[in-house]
A = this chain, B = another copy of it.
Amino acid sequence: MTGSHDFYGVIAPVLTPFDEQGNPDTARFVAHAKWLLADGCTGLAPFGTTGEANSLGVEERIGLLDALINGGIDPKLLMPGTGLCALSDTVAVTKHAVERGCGGVMTLPPFYYKAVSDDGLFAYFADFIERVGNDRLRVYLYHIPPVAHVGFSVELVGRLIKAYPETVVGLKDSSGDWDNTKALLDAYPGFTIFPGSEIFLLDGMRNGAAGCITATGNVNARMIRNVYDNWETDQADALQAEITAVRQTIQERPMIPMLKAIVAHYLNDPQWARVRPPFLPLGAGEAEAGIAELSEQFGFELKAA
Q: How far is the CB of A141 from chain B (nearest CB, A)?
A: 14
Among the stretches A71-79, A177-185, A271-279, A286-294, the one at the interface with B is A271-279
A278 x B147 contact (CB < 8 A): no
CB-CB under 8 A from A119, the residues of chain B are: 280
Give this chain's copy count: 2
B277 x A147 contact (CB < 8 A): no
A87 x B117 contact (CB < 8 A): no
**In the complex, residue of chain B having the shortest beta-carbon distance to the beta carbon of A52:** B113
**In the complex, residue of chain B having the shortest beta-carbon distance to the beta carbon of A150:** B278
Query: In the bound complex, what is the Cα–Cα distance between A87 and B86 (angstroms)?
Result: 15
Number of A residues whose C-beta is below 8 Å from B?
41
Among the stretches A3-11, A56-64, A207-215, A222-230, the one at the interface with B is A56-64
B147 x A88 contact (CB < 8 A): no
B56 x A127 contact (CB < 8 A): no
| Among A110, A146, A278, residue most surrounded by chain B Cβ atoms (within 10 Å) | A278
A278 x B55 contact (CB < 8 A): no
**In the complex, residue of chain B having the shortest beta-carbon distance to the beta carbon of A23:** B88
A277 x B87 contact (CB < 8 A): yes
A113 x B57 contact (CB < 8 A): no
**In the complex, residue of chain B having the shortest beta-carbon distance to the beta carbon of A123:** B277
**In the complex, residue of chain B having the shortest beta-carbon distance to the beta carbon of A279:** B120
B54 x A278 contact (CB < 8 A): no
A277 x B57 contact (CB < 8 A): no
**In the complex, residue of chain B having the shortest beta-carbon distance to the beta carbon of A109:** B278
The verdict on A279 contacting B85 (CB below 8 Å), with A57-B58, A58-B58, A92-B57 known, is no
CB-CB under 8 A from A113, the residues of chain B are: 49, 54-55, 147, 278-279
Q: What is A's interface to B at a CB cutoff of 8 Å?
A: 22, 49, 54-60, 84-89, 92, 109-114, 116-117, 119-121, 123-124, 126-127, 146-150, 276-280
- Please name 15 pairs of A and B residues whose Cβ atoms are closer than 8 Å in the assembled complex, sorted by A: A22-B87, A54-B85, A56-B86, A57-B84, A59-B92, A85-B85, A109-B278, A113-B147, A113-B278, A114-B147, A116-B278, A120-B277, A123-B278, A124-B278, A126-B277
User: Besides A57-B84, A123-B278, 15 other CB < 8 A contacts?
Assistant: A54-B112, A54-B113, A55-B86, A57-B58, A57-B86, A57-B88, A84-B85, A89-B89, A109-B278, A110-B277, A110-B278, A112-B147, A113-B147, A113-B278, A123-B280
